């Protein structure tokens, strides 16, 4: 597990039509998932069951929007109870001492593409990161407006102190 590919597929809800609008995450239509290399030859997929996110924007196309998200490390799920217990231990996330993974940043529109630039914090280590953003559009449902995003990127776990089994 040297690198983690991280995805945040999110649907945000707002009752307002633009101005300065804070969008809250629709957890029933969103997820934070990851893929990690295991033993050099395989991949493990997982997700965080407990998370929160919000976007604050003053433009309809979300250029310049502020984005924040947190994931509770104790909520990690990889479909293996033993592996999840190990990932929550000090070898990896140390969920007891470091209960949250955090991100705060800004969406930047570059032509027709979007990037999410910000600071990613895990185990109290903060690094600047850039994620790709696929803005899927917005729709008024009659009960508010929803906006969809898929955010992807790769981080190196060693940068954040997740150093167990470095040789792998």
Instruction: Please state which CATH number belongs to domain 3-160.
Output: 2.40.128.110
Q: What is the pLDDT of residues 7-48, one digit of tens each?
A: 555 556 555 555 688 888 888 888 999 888 766 677 889 999
Residue whose C-alpha is closest to residue 161's, from 131, 134, 121, 132: 121
Separation of alpha carbons 79 and 91, rounded Å: 19
In the block, tokens 């295991």 appear at 38
- Reported as a single tens digit per residue, the pLDDT across 90-128 is 999 999 999 999 999 999 999 989 999 999 999 999 999
**Average pLDDT, whole number, for the chain?**
86
Q: What is the pLDDT of residues 47-97, one digit of tens each?
A: 999 999 999 998 888 999 999 999 999 999 999 999 999 999 999 999 999
Where exactly are the structural domains of the chain?
Answer: 3-160
User: What pLDDT score was predicted for residue 23?
Assistant: 87
Other C-beta atoms closer than 10 Å to the C-beta of 76 total 23
Tokens of 134: 């696929």
Structure tokens that stand for 125 in this block: 């280590």
Higher local confidence (pLDDT), 10 or 136: 136
């Amino acid at each position: 597990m040297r690198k983690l590919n991280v995805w945040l597929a999110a649907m945000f809800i707002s009752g307002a039509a633009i101005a300065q609008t804070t969008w809250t995450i629709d957890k029933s239509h969103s997820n934070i998932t990851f893929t990690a290399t295991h033993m050099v030859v395989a991949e493990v997929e997982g997700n965080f069951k407990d998370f929160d996110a919000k976007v604050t924007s003053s433009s309809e196309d979300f250029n310049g929007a502020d984005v924040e998200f947190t994931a509770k490390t104790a909520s990690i799920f990889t479909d293996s109870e033993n592996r999840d217990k190990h990932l929550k231990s000090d070898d990896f996330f140390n969920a007891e001492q470091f209960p949250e993974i955090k991100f705060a940043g800004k969406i930047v529109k570059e032509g027709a593409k979007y990037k999410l630039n910000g600071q990613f914090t895990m185990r109290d280590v903060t690094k600047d990161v850039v994620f790709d953003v696929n803005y899927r559009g917005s729709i008024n449902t009659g009960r508010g407006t929803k906006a969809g995003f898929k955010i992807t990127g790769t981080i190196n776990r060693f940068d954040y102190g997740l150093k167990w089994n470095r040789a792998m």
